Structure 1
Amino acid sequence: MPDISLTTVVLLCLAAALAGWIDAVVGGGGLLLLPALLIGLPQHAPTYALGTNKAVAITGTSIAALTYTRKAPVDLRLAVRLGGLATLSAAGGALFASAVNKEVLQPLIMVVLLGVAAFVVWKPRFGTTVDDRAVTRRRRWLALAVAGVGIAFYDGLIGPGTGTFLVISLVAILHLDMLTASATAKVVNVGTNLGALLGFAAQGTVLWKLAAVMALFNMAGGWIGAHMALRRGSGFVRAILLVVVTALVVRLGYDQWWS
């Protein structure tokens, strides 16, 4: 990495660690990691930041997914099906990324995020208790369509808030508590990251050496975040969710009107 200073590498590694922690708890680590890469790599085209971000993020997400599936009540069969479908959908989204009009989509995303935040605040028990209602086959198919196709395609297309959208959709559709939803979302998020990464790698826009160093810190952050979420439960995940959603809205608003 001869064209990147040691100070920049250190700061990017710290950002990767914190992003891994955020991703493991509730998703949304890209809110921190992608802007850090864009700022730290001004000499590279933005696509390199996007590609390197995915190469780093998939490592922390994989560690978190492994930790959750070993200790949380995850339906592995459903999670793997969602993750496999998400890989294909995210790769498809990445193919259309260059044609997206972000000036139109960003305000729409902000409205959705504000709606999510309002819903979680007004429904304080949402995702904090286990719902004993049986999950029908129709709801499982709906989860595949929304999480495995729709949200995954969005991750390849744009990306911000993917993990958060996954958690909310899994709670709403499958009646999961926040902790189980976050654990399931990690498996799906591995698929979305993999699909997007394959697209960027095919274009040669991944800084692999930098990504390898940052990945070590991202994995550490993901491991710590997953264990904290498992120890503190759904209430903790819900609180972090609100913080991340608020930060996403602020970030998108800044990009839309002040950047």
Structure 2
Amino acid sequence: MGDIPLTTLVLLCLAAAAAGWIDAVVGGGGLLQLPALMVGLPQAPPTFVLGTNKAVGIVGTSAAAVTYIRRAPVDVRTAVRIGLAAIAGSAGGASLAAGIDSDLLRPLIMVVLLAVLAFVLFRPAFGTAPAPGPAGRQRVLVAILVAGVGIGFYDGLIGPGTGTFLVIALAAILHMDLVTASATTKVVNVCTNFGALVMFTAQGTVLWRLAALMAVFNLAGGTLGARTALKRGSGFVRTVLVVVVVGLIGKLAHDQWLAG
């Protein structure tokens, strides 16, 4: 960390705090934190950037999950089952990532995101009403397959927006309101981040001192974000969701046509 300018450290910490807040509310904090690390550590190998990002992110995600569990009706058992399936799906996606041309995937993901954006905008009641009751076994199984295996696979293959996709999938499949879907997503994210972090730790590709500093700010952002979502309700989460989806579309479009 002695080689990192103080100004860069401050900006990285602020990015970590903002990313923790966004991630706790609706997912997608990595859209801010990962590019910030890439800009702040231009000489670092990509695996070190990814490993450090996971070490920071899991702290804020865990804090948000605990805050949600204490104050929202979260089915932890279902969330953990989806999380374990997501770990398996992510491993499968990661195993194929090297052979996939991301330039071909990005337009497909942008089409999906545009469809999601249209769905959310034209269905104002989506994710704002509480679930009528506990989800049946069939819906839980579908959630495990789609949100766990499917989105987990996407996370390992390409990654951006995984948390946002999870929120939307859980709200649609399990008929959760957006606050409960965000809460459940945080538990799932803890599982997937833990699995990834174990791998990066084993490879020795985590800058632990930097991660520890940024994690303090990410934790504060994650805790504040969860409390904000709980206080402001599903309508607020829906607004943030729209903003994050638009941001994700812009990020993918930039990577596809303007980067480099």
TM-score w.r.t. the length of structure 1 is 0.96
- Residue matched to 1:29: 29
SS at match of 1:128: coil
Moved more, 45-54 or 9-18: 45-54
Q: Distance in 1 between matches of 2:6 and 2:99?
A: 35
Amino acid at match of 2:188: V
* Deviation, structure 1 residue 92: 3.9
Runs of 5+ unmatched residues, structure 2:
none
Task: Map Cα deviations across residues 117-141 of structure 1 (whole Å, 9 max, x no partner).
Answer: 1100000000001231652211110
Q: Distance in 1 between matches of 2:218 and 2:74?
A: 23
In 1, are the aligned partners of 2:127 and 2:234 still within 8 Å (CA)? yes
Q: How does 1:221-232 map to 2 (within 5 A)?
A: 221-232=221-232
* Deviation, structure 1 residue 34: 0.6
Q: Distance in 2 between matches of 1:202 and 1:97?
A: 20
Task: Map Cα deviations across residues 155-198 of structure 1 (whole Å, 9 max, x no partner).
Answer: 23322101100000001110111111110011001112122222
- Residue matched to 2:57: 57
Q: Distance in 1 between matches of 2:198 and 2:154?
A: 15
In 2, are the aligned partners of 1:171 and 1:178 still within 8 Å (CA)? yes
- Residue matched to 2:142: 142
Q: Aligned residues: percent identity?
A: 66
- Residue matched to 2:79: 79
Amino acid at match of 1:73: P
Amino acid at match of 2:82: L
SS at match of 1:131: coil
* Deviation, structure 1 residue 222: 0.1
| Residue 237 of structure 1 pairs with residue 246 of structure 2 | no
In 2, are the aligned partners of 1:94 and 1:199 still within 8 Å (CA)? no
Moved more, 90-99 or 46-55: 90-99
Amino acid at match of 2:238: R
- Residue matched to 1:132: 132
Amino acid at match of 2:246: T
- Going from structure 1 to structure 2, the CA distance change for 1:31 and 1:14 (only over 3 Å counts) comes to same
In 2, are the aligned partners of 1:156 and 1:196 still within 8 Å (CA)? no
Amino acid at match of 1:241: L
Aligned length: 259
In 1, are the aligned partners of 2:61 and 2:222 still within 8 Å (CA)? yes
TM-score w.r.t. the length of structure 2 is 0.95
SS at match of 2:204: coil
Task: Map Cα deviations across residues 202-259 of structure 1 (whole Å, 9 max, x no partner).
Answer: 3222211111110010000000000000001100100000000000000110010000
Runs of 5+ unmatched residues, structure 1:
none
In 1, are the aligned partners of 2:85 and 2:145 still within 8 Å (CA)? no
Moved more, 49-58 or 63-72: 49-58
Task: Map Cα deviations across residues 54-108 of structure 1 (whole Å, 9 max, x no partner).
Answer: 1111110000001001100111211122223323333443344333321111111
Amino acid at match of 1:115: A
Amino acid at match of 1:49: V
